[in-house]
């Protein structure tokens, strides 16, 4: 596919399968919102979904962080791993909410806001979006900036900050889990790098 006047190579996945998936998602959304199952509405829904999926194709090609001539397909990710991650994240959100309630109800309200930084190298921009958003939706932490794989995060207490910028120097749990979702894509990216070096 041409993108910005240049031929774009896909690191993983099939553009045809991706196009069908996006069309199916749009059509499902159309059916849910319209609530109509008459032939007229179904036909309009199919045509509209195909047109929107075709027009948005360039927007759903995410450029590789290390190889600008390569791209990732936005929705071509291992959804089964993502689902398991969301279960873990939901548990973390509940536990963090309980911690925040205790802080707010504490007579002295022992808040100790801090900024923390940590680096996570991932080639897929969608992986960075998932990690940044996972930090944001966890109460008490907000992703301020992501630049060149360096995350700047505001945490409401030092303990929450320490879960991201760990004193022992180990990788934060959330970034390790996000990386595990996209591990197959990272392997493909490394294969691309090896191929380019030849």
Average pLDDT, the chain: 84
Report the share of the chain in percent with pLDDT over 70.
87
Given a contact cutoff of 8 angstroms between Cβ atoms, the answer to whether 127 and 181 are in contact is: yes
Give 198's pLDDT tier (boundaries 50, 70, 90). very low
Beta-strand relationship, 61-63 and 70-73: antiparallel
Helix (H, G, I), strand (E, B) or coil at 118: strand
Q: Where are the domains of the chain?
A: 2-73, 79-197
Q: pLDDT tens across 64-108, in order?
A: 877 777 888 887 778 889 999 999 999 999 999 999 998 888 888
In angstroms, the CA 21 to CA 170 distance is: 38
Helix (H, G, I), strand (E, B) or coil at 195: helix
Structure tokens at 140: 């008490």
In angstroms, the CA 114 to CA 161 distance is: 7
Q: pLDDT tens across 165-178, in order?
A: 877 778 888 999 99
- pLDDT at residue 42, rounded to an integer: 93
Give the pLDDT mean for 14-34: 91
Tokens 């505001």: give the residue: 154
Ranking 60-69, 111-120, 128-137, 147-156 by mean pLDDT, the lowest is 60-69
Q: Which residue has the higher pLDDT, 183 or 146?
A: 146
Give the pLDDT mean for 5-29: 81
Give 193's pLDDT tier (boundaries 50, 70, 90). low
In angstroms, the CA 45 to CA 30 distance is: 6
Helix (H, G, I), strand (E, B) or coil at 198: coil
Given a contact cutoff of 8 angstroms between Cβ atoms, the answer to whether 191 and 157 are in contact is: no
């Amino acid at each position: 596919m041409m993108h910005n006047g240049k031929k774009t190579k896909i690191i993983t996945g099939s553009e045809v399968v991706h196009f069908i998936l996006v069309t199916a998602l749009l059509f499902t959304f159309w059916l849910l919102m319209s609530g109509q199952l008459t032939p007229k509405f179904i036909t309009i829904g199919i045509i509209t979904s195909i047109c929107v999926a075709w027009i948005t194709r360039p927007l759903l090609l995410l450029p590789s962080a290390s190889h600008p001539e390569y791209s990732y397909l936005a929705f071509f990710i291992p959804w089964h791993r993502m689902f398991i991650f969301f279960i873990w994240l939901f548990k973390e959100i509940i536990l963090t909410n309980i911690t925040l309630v205790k802080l707010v109800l504490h007579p002295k309200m022992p808040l100790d806001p801090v900024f923390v930084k940590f680096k996570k190298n991932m080639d897929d921009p969608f992986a960075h979006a998932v990690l940044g958003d996972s930090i944001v939706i966890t109460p008490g932490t907000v992703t301020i900036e992501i630049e060149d794989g360096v995350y700047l995060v505001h945490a409401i207490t030092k303990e929450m900050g320490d879960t991201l910028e760990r004193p022992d120097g180990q990788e934060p749990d959330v970034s390790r889990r996000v990386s595990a979702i996209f591990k197959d894509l990272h392997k493909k990216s490394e294969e691309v790098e090896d191929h380019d070096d030849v």
